Structure formats: C-alpha cells, structure tokens
Structure 1
Amino acid sequence: MNTAVAAFLGKHNFNHHVDINSVTDALLSDMHEGLCRRPASQDMILTYSNPPSKAAAGKSVIVIDAGGTNFRSCLVTFDSTGKPSIDFMEKTKMPGIEKELSRTEFFNQFAENLEHLKDKSCNIGFCFSYPMTITDDGDGILLGFSKEIKAPEVAGCRVGKELKKALADHGWKNKMNVLLLNDTVAALLAGAAAPDEGMKYSSYIGFILGTGMNGAYIQPEDAAYKGLKRQIVVCESGKFDKVARSDFDEAFDAKSVKPGTSRMEKMCSGAYLGPVSFEMIHTAAEEGLFTDAFAKKLLEIKEMTLIEMDAFLHSPYSTASVLGAKAAGCATKEDYDRLFQILDALVERCARLATSILAACVIKSGAGTSSDEPVCILCNGTTFFKTYKIFARVQGYLEDVLVREKGLYYDIISRDNDITLGAAIGGLIGE
C-alpha cells in the first residue's frame, strides 16, 4: 500500500486488515451470552424451527415477502419430485407507506393484496423483514416498523394471528397455517431444500449481505444452554458492536437516522459502504492526499453510493462513473492509485468482517468436521456477490481460518429465487 494512504488510514483508526480470528472469537462470545439470555449486542432470536426432514412434494404454499417498501406474493408449487414452480407473482406497495393505517386497516390491506391467491393453499410462508420476536408456534410479534411504514398499532401484535383473522373476514374458507420468518432463515431453508445433486451437508447457514446484513445458523443441543433444543437461530449480526470503528464510521454514524445502532452493519452492508466511502474521500481530499485539481473535483461530490464506488473499483479509468468522470483530465496516476487503495481498503475490511460472521456461525453450528459433509452456506445479496472482490476474498479467508486452521469444511452456494423458495419451505413447517 502507498505509504501516504497507509498513514492516512492509520491516522483515522481505519484498520482494513482486521484480525478475522479475533473478531470471530468476539462474535462467538457475544453469541454465547445471547443464548444464555444475558446482555449481548446480537439478539440471538430463537425460531423454534428446523429444516424439514424430507423434501416437499405435491404441495402448494402461498408465499408473502414483505420488507422495505414492497409487498410480494405468489404461489409456490412442489411437484411429485419436489421441484418448485412459482405462479401468480404480484408486487405492490407495503401497507402503511402512503398513509397511516390502524391495525385493522393494515391487515385488511394485506388480505386485499392476497385476493389473487384466495384458497389456493392452507399454508403461508411469511418472510417478514422487520424486527420481531418469534413465538414457539411459529408466529411473530412485531417489535416496531422502520420509519417508512406508518402503522403504529401493529407493533406488539401477533402478525400471523392477525393475518389469519383478516383472511377469514375476507371470505377465505381454509384454516390457515402461517409461519413467520425473516430473510436469513428463508435463505438457510432454501439451501437445505435444494442441495446440489450428490451433495450431503452436515448443517446449514443463511447469510445476507445486500442492502442490510444478517446471519442465521442451526444451533445444536448443548449442555451449556439448558432446555434449548436444536433449532435455527437468527443472530442479528449487524447489531454486533464489539469491533473497533474508524473516524469515518463515527462521522457517518453521527449523520445516520439512528446513531449508535447497527454498528457492524454500518461497516459492511450495501446501504452504508457508499456513505462511509464518501467520508473517506472527502477527508482525504481535505487533508491533501490528492493533487489540488483532483481534490477540488472530489469535494464537489455531495454523496456517494456503493454502486458508484464499486464502478470505480471495477473500471477506474471509465468516465461512466462519478469518480471516473471527476478524475478524467485532472487526476494524476498517483491520484488514481491513492483513490483506488482507499476504496479497496473499505472493501477489504468488509470482506474480513463478513468472513468473521460466517466463521462464527460455522463454528457455533458444531458441524463441518468432515470434508464430505461440509456446512452449506447459502449467501444472498448483490453486495456479497457483485461488489469488487468481496466474494473471492471471503472464500479465500474462510479457507484459511476454517479449513486450514480448524479443519472445518464449508460450501458457499446461491439459488435463484432463494428467499421465495425458503419462505415456501417455511410455510410447510409444522403443517
């Protein structure tokens, strides 16, 4: 690394060569405290669910994917061999986006959105990507919505119970089985439902690194956790707060909607890598790391997204990106090099932190001890698969910290329509 860049990063406490094993150990300690129901930064949400022991065959499931601002719904049908097909897919806005709704109005809108699927199945797999507590019957108690959803009366209610009531009020004849899950559980279940031909896995992990970040794994029975049966556990890894942050992270956090929250997520996920890179670029320009002409151009930039940051890393000399356009005609070769190294350091740190989360989940699963039955890690998210070298680096680091150092084996996979497929599998649990 250029000595000036190294000095700049060091001055601002930015450690891009995070020690993966140290962060993994800290995550494992925090996970243990959470499972013991002692204070922990990760929520360690129990789901009371496990992947089905046999493949779904000859069954249909209504799938709801509600998160952010979109409400998606469809019917997933498994044929006699367990092969899924997706039909009647519709997408609309989440209730409560346009105006504030009462609890009754909110779930009535759900029922209206599902009218095209009326009585097509008795089972609903409901991927509900908002903070909730899962109950032992597979329902979910909403803890609260993000600011986009205006339905305060829904907080604290049992979402599945209210949905079933609304469907009955709208003339649904079937007695419905509704299971609530989030996207990491859906990813895990998709991996369990669709292994590659000839593969056998010892356990499963779901990992999301897209706009947000989270992980889920299967916790085996353990004498350390009395009464805790084998089940999928959601870690809420994005909330982990026992990792050192840089001046750039602190500067962005102070400007964020909820300062002091989601500390790990703000260091890794797609929603935040762009804004953190903005803090790095502006500070570097202000502190003389670039030539005056280029620094002046960079200081004209008012915001930065992951898309623009990533475009420069993939094609530094292309003028199609904001940074490439600013550099054209005024930046020296050293300017290009220094800017690239700053942004690459941010990506490198992200890859190392993501590796730490995955390593902790594999270790905590107690599985993967035999090379012929690795732990299946289903990853979801464009940040993980598309951002400059993150996927390749994570794979390389996992080979070091798991396979070479601990003799633990893993297999990273992806699946088309993974969240939809996983939610469908979830809808059959407890049938």
Structure 2
Amino acid sequence: MNNGLKGQSHHVADIKMFPTFVRSLPDGSENGEFLALDLGGTNFRVLLVRLQGHEIDIQSKTYLIPQRIMLGTGTQLFDHIADCIGKFVSEHDLLNHSLPLGFTFSFPCQQEGLAKARLSKWTKGFRCEGVVGEDICELLQEALKRRTNCKVEIVAVVNDAVGTLMSAAHVDRNCEIGLILGTGCNACYMEYLDNVGTWKHDDEKDHHPRQVIINTEWGAFGDNGCLEFTRTEYDRELDTFSINPGKQVMEKMISGMYMGEIVRLVLERLANEGLLFRSVDHESALFERGRFYTKYVSEIESDTDEFFRHTKQVLDELQVENYTTEDCKIVKYVCTLISARAAFLAAAGLATLINRLNKQDMTIAVDGSLYRFHPRFHNLMCLKIKELVKPGLKFKLSLSHDGSGKGAALTAAVSLRLRSLKPLPTDSSQHSLTTQETVSVRA
C-alpha cells in the first residue's frame, strides 16, 4: 500500500492506491435534488435522489441497453443513455430544474478528476468504438446537450467501492472503509493527503479537507509473486485458463467470479482419483470449466442437517448421478475450506486498513453478492479480523444499501457542498483534521 501511495514507487506497485478525488464523506447537511446514473452492465439505472439531512427519498427506473448499441459506437451508447435520462427527467417534471448528477461507472478507468475519467478498456460484453481512452463524463455531457433540453451537470464519477462507502457514511459517521465482495473484490478508504505522494494538485489553500478517498485496487495484490506461498495447484490452473493470467491474484482467491471454479477443480481432481462420485460420467457438467457457479457454494453451505437438500439439488443440476451421503459431506467440506480461505484473505486486507486508520470504533461498509448471500462469510471475516487488528480497536461490518445509486448521488451532493465552502485556514495544525472535525470547526 505504501508503495502505491508513493510517487517514486507507484509505477512498480501491485496495489495502485488511486486517489478518487472524493475529498469528504457526507456530514448530514446535504440537501436538494440529485440524479444518479448507475452503468455497469446490460441494464443501467437512472435515479432521482432527494436529500434533506439524513432523510432520503429515492425514485428510480431501469433501462435496457440493446445488443446492437453495446456493439455499436460510443456516440450511439451515450445518445441512448442521454435519451433515457431526458425521458426520466421529463416524467418527473424536472425539465426546469438544475440537476447535479453522480455517475457510477463500473468499468476500468483512469480517473483524472472528480468528474473526469478515461475508459481503460471495455469489459462485460461491451465493444463500443471511440470510447477507450476518452473521458466518459465529457462524452455523456455532450450527449445530454445534443439529445435533451434538461439542465444536468455531471459533477462526480465513482466506482462501486466508493459508492458503497459514501452510502453507508451518510448514516454512520464511523464509516471510513468501503469493501466490495461480489463478482470482484476491492476496497477503498479515507486517507490523509500528506500520505499520498501521487497527489499532484496544488490545493494548499483550497476549501477541501486535507484528505481523499483512495481506491486501493487490492485485487492485484500478489501479482508480484508474494502470495505464492499460499496458492495451490487449483489456483494456478484457474489462473492459466483465465482471460488475464498472472493478474488479479488475490481477487482470484476471494471473489465470486472465481470461487465456484476453484471448488469445481478440486471436485474434478477428487473424482478423477476415485475418491468422490465413484461412477461419475465425465460428460457431466462437473467437468466443464465455469459450470460450478459460486451461488452453488452459498447454497451448499446453507445445508444444516444430514439430508443435504441443497447439495443434492446442485449435484442433480450438474448431472452427477449415484452420489452417496459421504460424497455430499465431502462436497460441502471442500466448499467450506475454499470460502473460509476467501473470507480470511479479505479479512487480512481489512485488518490492514483498520490498523492503518487506527480509530477506536470503525465501521466497514460492505456490498456484493458474495457477502450478501453466503451464509458464513460475515462471521468468518469477523473472527479473523479480531485476531489481526491491534488490541483495543473495535469494528463492525455493515451491509451497505444501494451504493451504486444513492452513493453516487451523495458524492455529487458532497462535491457541491465543498464547492460552496470558504477556504480552510492554511495553518498546518488544520491539515490532519477528519471530515467530522472540519465540520465542527466550521460550525
């Protein structure tokens, strides 16, 4: 992490520690109407978020992106999104309102400002030409001018981890870490600017607190070989057949995109050695890459009695026949080992952040399907974090609600609040104030 934060070592660091340009958490004073756009797949959502202190009202609508637009041009994509935003604004009788917009964009980006992010590459089936390397906020703003009559200004672009943190921090002032445990795995946290050697913006006298949310991109931990001592033959095989061999090593040991495949590789090996499913048909789906879904792991671990109802259902779906109760026990045992390892690795990363921040009471906002649906992930993480944090530091993991929508709108609201502030004193004693402290100073 320190290598990623330092200017001289950032280029060789596995964990990139990107500054997000989000300089403050919500303080409860945010008011007004905000739009949010959540784009991360074949659907996108437009949200109207009305804030009045801690009161919040959200209305939203989901729109489809047709296949022809996903494979078309960037202009077609952003025109389609702008058309939908225009309809949404019109349906809510807001055409004459000035609406700030927070934009959750869940594709790899190089962020250059709070509302400036260049697309690094498309993922998730998108192939829109003319967008890679371009500022996605500018492309959307131009489309809004072209296609609508509404007064919408894009004021912030965030990823899902930042949205998760902002959403939870709105109701919990002890929250300074956001964690995603879903298809991918990533974390962000609030860092003092004095520790961020990559920060090149001359803002000694500006009105922002001397802090910034850091997007760790910690899924790449281990890309330099430092995790080899804990990787197995199954991890290496999964990596070899992945679309990015040698990359995102820690993410591949934790996240929902890969966990099911690791289980499948273990079960395949046991079956091939005659230790499991003795009469298994090698034509069954168990022997197909990617066919053992991570949701199966959560379902299997939900079995609490000797009947193995969920385990049997999964094996039936995979066309495994003639399995025994002993087979079901082994399948469940394999799942528990692999998910416990994932939870412990995520806990090790979180404990590192908690120890770094060194606050007495810390809330971690967590979102993602793996954390939401796995029956033991929360408890496993809590047990391991307790072992790894400094004595006396308390923490709690809290499920964050609608970070990609509400969190984006709150980021927009916070950015407008900071715009309106008078400059803070430049005395060095002010530089290490937290958001909460700067708010009380102003009060």
1:330, CA displacement in angstroms?
4.1
Q: Partner of 1:417 in structure 2? A: 402
Q: Partner of 1:220 in structure 2? A: 192
Query: What are structure 2's unaligned runs of at least 5 residues?
Result: 90-94, 201-209, 417-443
| Structure 1 contact 58–82 (Cα < 8 Å) conserved | no
1: distance between equivalents of 2:40 and 2:319? Answer: 38
- AA at the equivalent of 2:252: K
| Cα deviation code 1:363-395 (max 9, x no counterpart) | 33x232x2xxx1221000121132141111101
Q: Kindly tell me the number of residue pairs found equivalent between the two proteins.
A: 389
1:170, CA displacement in angstroms?
2.0
1:46, CA displacement in angstroms?
0.9
SS of 1:153's partner is coil
- AA at the equivalent of 2:76: E
Q: Partner of 1:15 in structure 2? A: none
Q: Partner of 2:207 in structure 1? A: none
2:252 to 266, 284, 298: 266
Matched, 1:337 2:321: no
| Cα deviation code 1:114-156 (max 9, x no counterpart) | 1223345420010000111222343211111115111131111
Q: Partner of 1:235 in structure 2? A: 216
| Structure 1 contact 207–216 (Cα < 8 Å) conserved | yes
| Structure 2 contact 3–10 (Cα < 8 Å) conserved | no
Matched, 1:112 2:98: no
1:175, CA displacement in angstroms?
5.8
2: distance between equivalents of 1:235 and 1:194? Answer: 23
- AA at the equivalent of 1:243: L
**More divergent stretch after superposition (203-212 vs 296-305):** 296-305
**CA spacing shift, 1:282–1:125, aligned 2, 3 Å:** same
| Cα deviation code 1:175-216 (max 9, x no counterpart) | 614210000000111121112xxxx42x51110101111110
2: distance between equivalents of 1:384 and 1:300? Answer: 26
2:293 to 287, 305, 311: 305
Alignment of 1:277-288 (within 5 A): 277-288=263-274
Q: Partner of 1:100 in structure 2? A: 71
Matched, 1:138 2:115: yes
**More divergent stretch after superposition (379-388 vs 216-225):** 216-225
| Structure 2 contact 37–104 (Cα < 8 Å) conserved | yes
| Structure 2 contact 343–381 (Cα < 8 Å) conserved | yes
- AA at the equivalent of 2:17: M
1: distance between equivalents of 2:278 and 2:41? Answer: 41
**More divergent stretch after superposition (149-158 vs 241-250):** 241-250
Q: Alignment identity in percent?
A: 22
Q: Partner of 1:10 in structure 2? A: none
**More divergent stretch after superposition (95-104 vs 392-401):** 95-104
Q: Partner of 1:4 in structure 2? A: none
1:84, CA displacement in angstroms?
1.0
Displaced runs of 4 or more, over 6 A: 324-329
Q: Partner of 1:254 in structure 2? A: 240
1: distance between equivalents of 2:198 and 2:302? Answer: 50
Matched, 1:124 2:101: yes
| Structure 1 contact 95–109 (Cα < 8 Å) conserved | no
1:111, CA displacement in angstroms?
0.5
**CA spacing shift, 1:30–1:270, aligned 2, 3 Å:** farther
Query: What are structure 1's unaligned runs of at least 5 residues?
Result: 1-27
SS of 1:222's partner is helix
- AA at the equivalent of 2:46: S
**CA spacing shift, 1:31–1:408, aligned 2, 3 Å:** farther
1:75 to 33, 48, 53: 48
Q: Partner of 1:171 in structure 2? A: 148
Matched, 1:367 2:358: yes
- AA at the equivalent of 1:171: T
| Cα deviation code 1:64-92 (max 9, x no counterpart) | 0000222111111113x4311111x2212
- AA at the equivalent of 2:74: R
SS of 1:184's partner is helix
1: distance between equivalents of 2:126 and 2:194? Answer: 39
1:328, CA displacement in angstroms?
9.5
TM-score by length of 2: 0.80
Q: Partner of 1:19 in structure 2? A: none
Matched, 1:352 2:356: no
**CA spacing shift, 1:425–1:124, aligned 2, 3 Å:** same
1:98, CA displacement in angstroms?
4.6
- AA at the equivalent of 1:281: L
2: distance between equivalents of 1:375 and 1:52? Answer: 14
State the superposition RMSD in angstroms: 2.7
- AA at the equivalent of 1:102: T
- AA at the equivalent of 1:323: L
| Structure 1 contact 67–130 (Cα < 8 Å) conserved | yes
2: distance between equivalents of 1:278 and 1:123? Answer: 46
SS of 1:169's partner is helix
TM-score by length of 1: 0.82
1:419, CA displacement in angstroms?
2.7
